[in-house]
Structure 1
Amino acid sequence: MDMKKPTISEDVIERAHQGKCTKEDALLLLKGNPFELFALADELRALAVGDVVTYVVNRNIYITNKCVGNCGFCAYRTEKGYILNVEEILKKVGDAKKAGAVEICIQGGYTPEADMEFYLEIVESIKAEYPDMCLHALSPMEVNYAAGLSGMSVEEALRKLKKSGIDSLTGTSAEILSDRVRKIICPSKINTQQWVDTVTAAHKAGISTNATIMYGHVETLEERLDHIFTIREIQQETRGFSELIPMSFLPYNNRVGEKMLASGKFQSTGLEDLQLHAIARTILHTHVNNIQATWVKLGKKLAQVALQCGANDLGGTLMEDQISTASGGSNGEYVSPAEFEWMIKGAGRIPVQRDTLYRQVEPRCLESQGSVPNYQKAGIGSRE
């Protein structure tokens, strides 16, 4: 690695600090010395959120593996599978609560058996029985599809979901916000503008979302950057994103990955993963405060390193992650709160449990009782 590459110019650094990083700046930073980019991202992280690193005790609930889509990156879907009923879902929520979870993440697909009335029943049932459980559920794709099945507009569906008690939508089904890429990897999904419109409508309805980017397949470097700048543009309008979650593509057991592997291309390198987190922090500085390093995709050790490259959140304990494991993920399906605490302290940072909306919560798990200092609850994910 060439350590004699030119240093970052003062103009680029100043624009980054002001939240005005340009695409040209981002390209220069990615072509320069990666350790200088990491240092800049780490500095911006400290300014935005301080030394706190957050995580959430949560559980993924996969309500179905049935999906009529044809995404080339998916190894999980099937046309003949299962679909959980409300009673089965409530049982899983109850088990998660006993294990200390404060968030339930509902993972679905799009199937004619899951219309908006079905999702509204799920949300209302969970909130009726577990009113203090944060419910993070439904992607923009699922909202669009289920609303169409029920003969209602996306805006009406979002209003009903908000009234039923949903706390946050997932920012998935974004993949790469480029229609060129989407026609290759997920041609039956909503297009870029539909994703943007749905997320924007959710924010205006008072529903927070996160944002995701799934990178390392057929997209170009500029398409990755365009995706992140699109997130920034939405945030400038709505202020509705809680975090960005970079997700490296897993190329196993799916059509897109098989073509990649056959051509001699593998998944993103560790250095590339760290650069993506760092450039995301740099582009989104002053706009989106929280950048997640997801251990499911990166592995625990690289996720810990990402905390030095702009990331400030490690995501959730999960308790299960069927989608990543189906695509060849080998990092497991659960990390305990105690291990998160160990990872965060090992990185020289302050561990804090949060909920979906980045509010500090008191630990419910016995294994981590007493290990989280009583820091002020206000301001997690923000220094404002």
Structure 2
Amino acid sequence: MVLREWARDAQASAEEARVALRHVADDPSSLSDDEWVALLGAAGAELDELCELADGARRQVTDPDALTFVVNRNLDTAVIATPKSGDPSLEDLVDEARRLGATEICMQGPVPADAPAEDYLHLVERIHAAAPDLHLHAFRPTEVTDAATRLGISTTEFLRRAQAAGLGSVPGTAAQILDDEVRGALSGGSAPPAREWVQVIEAAHRIGLFSTATLLYGHVETPRQQVAHLRLLAEIQARTGGFSELIVMPLLPENAPPPLRPAATSTVSRRETRAVHAVARLLTLGRFDHLQVAWTKQEPEVVEELLRGGADDIGGLLLDGDLMPSAGQEAGRVLDVESLADIAARVGRVPRQRTTGYADPPADRLIPIPQVRP
């Protein structure tokens, strides 16, 4: 696969974008793939209009005045499964997160190959025992498959056991782009097929676990593959209703596979980022209510543009506290309540805390938020 060049291959003409804009304003469900591709290439006045339409769609399906967020802590499965001398205990990490106001623990990553496979379930049991009122959001589809294979059971059986032990929902990360050619290019041929991700997610939804959905853009995918990915997510949602939100994320250069690192993300622009988020909102309208900004992967001014262009949620505060758990790529990234309040004021919204499933937290779990005048 050749790295895409947006300026040459994906930039739609202004006229194509204007035609598609007229259609999306009338009925987003009526657009063809070609029209969505045209909108992904929108620029200038057409891009501004696209983002305004996306923000109007946001206002139709969510509280138009709210900027929602969850208070959480990220944990790396491998780190807590095989702690080093002097590391804080899992129980201490969970207890501190709860005291800081967290309502969610997010745990991702595989149990190391030299650790017992049973640790997948034991970690869930320990977290739930330490704080039964915290929601545990854990194990991407690749980890569910790894756990089931190592335990010699089906993925559905593993998910049932994890749910019984205290698992509340599953991250829909590692979806990348649900296209085998793209996934192979990103992994050097080692990625599991897209159908495996779909099968695990739908198995989770069938037993009552909800999940997030993700789109990873800015690498080797084409605009048409982005559209196909979003359509597939919408189809899954139509079948199961199990997605809580859609998270759109760029592939950062430092996270790209070494062979792709020099060029894979060099063409990701603010224009493309705005267009991808706006199209994601409009193409999935009626299926997804919530579109989340991946604030850890965007510059602050871009985050604000995306919140004005269709996104309603800013994700988690990612609490580190004093113990500072190692949590992979997002370790050390904290969005404090003061910064959150400032962002909300600048985009004309009011911060509103939510649970993982977008409900209101119990009154005793609400954290104080400074009042900043918009």
Which range, TM-score by smaller chain?
0.7 to 0.9
The one of 13, 18, 24 equivalent to 1:6 is: 18
CA distance in 2, matches of 1:147, 1:241: 22
**1:212-237 alpha-carbon deviations (Å, 9 max, x no partner):** 11111111111111111110010000
Which residue is equivalent to 1:286? Answer: 286
**Match runs of 1:56-67 below 5 Å:** 56-64=70-78
2:267 and 2:132 map into 1 onto residues whose CA distance is: 41
**Residue among 194, 204, 207 paired with 1:205:** 207
Q: Residues of 2 paired with 1:233 and 1:224: CA distance?
A: 14
Query: SS at 1:64's partner residue?
Result: helix
Greater Cα shift, 359-368 or 161-170: 359-368
**Any idea what SS the aligned residue of 1:104 has?**
strand
Identity in percent: 33
The alpha carbon displacement at 1:96 in A equals 1.0
Q: Is this contact kept in 2: 1:247–1:294, CA < 8 A? A: yes
Match of 2:58 in 1: 45
Paired residue type of 1:244: L
State the distance in 2 between where 1:10 and 1:127 align.
Answer: 51
Q: What are the ranges of 5 or more consecutive residues in structure 2 without an aligned counterpart?
A: 1-10, 321-325
Instruction: Say if 2:20 and 2:36, in contact at 8 Å, map to a contact too.
Output: no
Kindly provide the amino acid, as one letter, of the partner of residue 293 in structure 2: A
Q: Distance in 1 between matches of 2:166 and 2:97?
A: 19
* Aligned counterpart in structure 1 of residue 234 of structure 2, from 225, 232, 235: 232
| AA matched with 1:199 | I
1:10 Cα offset (Å): 4.1
- 1:30 maps onto 2:35 in alignment: no
Cα pair distance change 1:248/1:227, threshold 3 Å: same
Structure 2 SS opposite 1:292: strand
Normalised to the residue count of structure 2, the TM-score between the two structures is: 0.85
CA distance in 1, matches of 2:31, 2:273: 20
Are residues 152 and 338 of structure 1, via their aligned partners in 2, closer, same or farther at CA, if it must alter by over 3 Å? same
Distance 1:224 1:115, change over 3 A: farther
**Deviation digits for residues 228-277 of structure 1 (CA, Å, limit 9, x no counterpart):** 11100100000000011111111126534x5342x596151112111111
User: What's the CA shift for 1:119?
Assistant: 1.7
Question: Match of 1:94?
Answer: 95
The amino acid that maps onto 2:242 is G
Query: Which one of 324, 328, 338 corresponds to residue 329 of structure 2?
Result: 324
Q: Which amino acid aligns with 2:329?
A: S
Instruction: Tell me the SS of whatever aligns to 1:197.
Output: helix
Q: Which runs of 5+ in 1 are unaligned?
A: 67-81, 327-331, 373-384
349-358 vs 195-204, greater mean Cα deviation = 349-358
Cα distance between partner residues in 1 of 2:283 and 2:111: 33
Alignment of 1:1-384 (within 5 A): 6=18, 8=20, 10-16=22-28, 19-32=29-42, 33-51=46-64, 52-64=66-78, 83-84=82-83, 88-109=89-110, 111-113=112-114, 116-186=117-187, 187-252=189-254, 254-256=256-258, 259-261=260-262, 263=263, 266=266, 268-319=268-319, 322-324=327-329, 333-361=333-361, 362=363, 364=365, 367-368=368-369, 371=371
State the 1:182 CA deviation.
1.1
Q: Is the 8 A contact 1:56 1:315 kept in 2?
A: yes
Once residues 359 and 219 of structure 1 are traced to their aligned partners in structure 2, the CA distance between those partners, rounded to angstroms, is: 35
Say what the alpha-carbon RMSD is for the aligned residues.
2.7
Tell me how far apart the structure 2 counterparts of residues 21 and 264 of structure 1 sit (CA, whole Å): 29
Q: Distance in 2 between matches of 1:253 and 1:24?
A: 30
1:89-146 deviation per Cα after TM superposition (whole angstroms, max 9, x unaligned): 2211111111111111012235324555212111122212211101111000000011
